[in-house]
Structure 1
Amino acid sequence: VEAIQQPKTWRLIKAINGDSREAKEMVFVIHGILQDKSLPPLNMKPKTVPSRYRFLKQGVTITGLDTPTFSDSIKSATEIYGLFDWNFAEGRMELWSCVNRTPNECDSIHASNRYLMLKMEATHQPFKKLVDPKGILKAMAKESYVHTEDNDVLYTKCKTQAEGKFFYKEIGPQAFQIGDIVEIQVLFVVVPLKDEKVKMIMVLQSITLLEAWSKVKRKTDK
């Protein structure tokens, strides 16, 4: 666990080949079924004051329908929370659980990422055309906010070549539908709150379409 000053966060950093001078943040992969989503592009500017723009997020909720592999993902996430909690004084870290009970009583995981950050915290990175085709997010940034590398979410589709090899093609966020089988990549990050409190969040880095809901439905209908 390493403290980062700008923006103020605590992150899981892994040394490369045992060399702490060459380290990278740990990325975690989770597979599941897309249960809910709040993804770009935006069709209109949100009805909120500009001071709230930095709280707007893109995010997904996935479920594993209580499969063993998904349950293992939840167990691992809980262990990561314990690792972070060990680094803070007792009671400073907010209680956390990645488990949300769905109407059919299956566990689910939610991950999200903000569109914008305060300009003082980082440098700007242009929005991709597939994410902001109308330039709405770009207009919202203006002078106070920036879209950074940390805010960037990659949207891809996994395809198979004739020889059986996999490759990934970038697609628009609107291609994802409820019921799709997906892979998400997330970061576990601790952020500061008021009164010296902190909390752990799951930051969405990418979402990959493994199998579309329409294709899954055709298989189950046979």
Structure 2
Amino acid sequence: MDEFYDFEAAKKGLVELATQREGEIYNALATTKMMGYSVQQFYNPTTWRIVKESDNPTAREECVLRLHGILSELDLPPVSRQSLQPKKQLPHLRQQVGITLLDSKLETSYMDKLLVVYHFLCRAHRNGFVAKWGPSEFRDYVQLNAHSRYFTSGNYAKFTESVPFRPMVDPDNALSNVSGTDLVHGTDNVVDYLRLVRETGQIYYEETNPASFRVGDIVELEISPMALGVKGNSEAKFTLILRSIIMLDDSHSIHATFARAKASMPRLVPAIKLIRKTASDEKEERDVIIARRGVALLNIERQGDESDMNITN
């Protein structure tokens, strides 16, 4: 986002869309009360997740919250063979986004709610077990970050059921080809890329290409807040795990792209016409002047003759 991006229009659009969506969804971060949830530890890898009971007595429903913002940073699929990192870095390869709220009223609301969630996790452990957390920055604004790794790796991989990569995420099979017993793409690594569609009073989602997202787009994120075990599980790190990105409005980034392209176009200067005079041109000009003088003299003589005739009569 630069001087061609209309920050005020985007901020207004963000607040309007967030307000509208909060009335349409049940798990909006801004309105959640965390009722019925508890913290439960899971293993392989070690995480502490916020869950509640489900219809299945042997399963728990994970807390998934929705929040809205403007994309200010992104590293998303597709992944090509050329962009793959060295193999030792593959376990850390991730899809990630940052969203900003442009100092709108959402900023205070979201930060207050995320701190409630953070302390909800903290209170399930001894004091200081979950490391301190705070947002990052974009320009002078708050930025919230969420990510999801492409793989579950190491010893944890053998406890993970593999699922195929979606074609728009891995079109060249670059990720599929490096998958193995120690690198597994499981359900916990899947991110949905969607577009919200409103049509004849109906609302639905359609799958979209992750490459279509741009900085400046207004989006809805689904995230799972959790604490990840680090340093041999001697402490935990509060993290927002990305579950889906939903495109709400890409018009602001498109307008900025057009304005940027228009400004970079060369200004058209009228071409200077080249005039060349030769001796023949000068002769033609003299002939024209002589001819015009002849016509003028002839007109004078005619007028004189007409005057003489009038006097005689």
SS of residue matched to 2:95: strand
CA distance in 2 between counterparts of 1:47 and 1:167 reads 34
Q: 1:143-162 to 2 correspondence within 5 Å?
A: 143-161=181-199
SS of residue matched to 1:137: helix
Q: TM-score, normalised by structure 2?
A: 0.64
CA distance in 2 between counterparts of 1:74 and 1:109 reads 9
CA distance in 1 between counterparts of 2:80 and 2:54 reads 42
Q: Choose the corresponding residue for 2:132, options 70, 80, 95.
A: 95
Q: Choose the corresponding residue for 1:178, options 190, 193, 215.
A: 215
The residue number in structure 1 matching 2:176 is 138
CA distance in 2 between counterparts of 1:48 and 1:178 reads 23
Give the superposed CA RMSD. 2.1
The residue number in structure 2 matching 1:128 is 166
- Equivalent residue letter for 1:63: T
Which structure: larger Rg?
Answer: 2
SS of residue matched to 2:112: helix
- Equivalent residue letter for 2:255: K
The residue number in structure 2 matching 1:39 is 76
The residue number in structure 1 matching 2:146 is 111
- Equivalent residue letter for 1:27: V
By how many angstroms is 1:137 displaced?
0.8
Q: Report the CA distance shift for 1:160/1:27 in structure 2 as closer, same or farther (over 3 A).
A: same
Determine which structure has the larger strand proportion and give its number: 1
Q: Larger relative contact order (C-alpha < 8 A, sep ≥ 6)? A: 1
By how many angstroms is 1:21 displaced?
5.2
* Equivalent pair of 1:34/1:62 in contact (CA under 8 Å): yes
1:174-221 Cα deviation digits (max 9, x unpaired): 010111110000001111111511111100000000011457738xx9
CA distance in 2 between counterparts of 1:215 and 1:198 reads 37
Gaps of at least 5 residues in structure 1 are none
Determine which structure has the larger helix proportion and give its number: 2
Gaps of at least 5 residues in structure 2 are 1-38, 260-313
SS of residue matched to 1:51: helix
SS of residue matched to 1:157: strand
- Equivalent residue letter for 1:43: S
CA distance in 2 between counterparts of 1:197 and 1:11 reads 14
The residue number in structure 2 matching 1:187 is 224
Runs of 4+ deviating beyond 6 Å? none
The residue number in structure 2 matching 1:57 is 94
* Equivalent pair of 2:70/2:219 in contact (CA under 8 Å): yes
- Equivalent residue letter for 1:86: R
CA distance in 1 between counterparts of 2:85 and 2:132 reads 29
* Equivalent pair of 2:54/2:61 in contact (CA under 8 Å): yes
By how many angstroms is 1:44 displaced?
2.6
* Equivalent residue pairs, number: 215
